[in-house]
Amino acid sequence: MARKIAAGNWKMNGTRAALAEVEALVNAHPAPRVGVILCPPATLICAMKAIAGPIAVGGQDCHAEPSGAHTGDISAQQLCDAGASYVILGHSERRADHAETDPQVEAKAQAAWAAGLQAVICIGETETERDAGTTLAVIGEQLSASVPEGATGANTIIAYEPVWAIGTGRTPTLAQIAEVHDFLRAELAERFGADQATEFSLLYGGSVKPSNAAEIFQVANVDGALVGGASLKAADFGPIIAALESI
């Protein structure tokens, strides 16, 4: 069975003052019955880990190399050393802002595993691709080219994030989410076998809020969420964790 996971992506938000939100979250959820992960900016990983209690900490990207002359980049080993146990890879904002390709994401995932991190690999179609009816083709290609051989439910989480739903307040219909998540499970079964496919946590991401989390979590093959804006405040992220716990 796939682990239920509520993951938060703080993106380029937060300074040390924001750690008060993590304290509040831990106080409200001292023993969550689902996996909870927060991925702050790299500058906060160490300090967040020190106070995060049952909440796991992750990075938002890593370089594919373990070290070297790559100014401004961070290796998977460095994230691990700072206290991370996960790393988000291939987020659509990195694919757009930094022209990251599927093969680069694949190489980063292998680097993450080598450092002992679990990879949270993001895929998702643009609005143009959805309107053109190519959603499943785009997602199938991203999945096969970004997820390396050797992926298991223990080392990899897949996050489906339609680009047009991120930060927009627009979410797909539940049927649209179901269609993609069913497709992902089937694709994983074809590649890794039916038994292994059931072990992958498939997260939905894009405008998840306390008000829509419960209905999204009811969708078959949705094992949790990757949450952006609503993960910044304990008062928003806490109810999303609670909604997942009650499934």
**Site residues, ligand 13P (CB under 6 A):** 9, 91, 161, 166-167, 205-208, 226-230
Smallest distance from ligand 13P to CB 231, Å = 7
* Closest to ligand 13P by CB, 78 or 207: 207
Q: Which residue minimizes CB distance to ligand 13P?
A: 228
Is 70 a residue of the active site? Answer: no
* Closest to ligand 13P by CB, 4 or 94: 94
* Closest to ligand 13P by CB, 112 or 230: 230
CB 5 within 8 A of CB 88: no
* Closest to ligand 13P by CB, 148 or 206: 206
Is 23 a residue of the active site? Answer: no
CB 224 within 8 A of CB 34: yes
In this structure, the strands spanning 35-39 and 56-59 are parallel
Smallest distance from ligand 13P to CB 128, Å = 18
Q: Of 21, 29, 63, 91, which residue is the catalytic one? A: 91
The Cα–Cα gap between 37 and 8 comes to 6
Rounded-to-5 percentages of helix, strand, coil across the chain? 45, 15, 40
CB 189 within 8 A of CB 168: no
CB 206 within 8 A of CB 162: yes
Q: If DSSP codes are grouped into helix, strand and coil, which group holds residue 79?
A: helix
Q: Which residue has the tokens 């206290």?
A: 83
- Catalytic positions: 91, 161
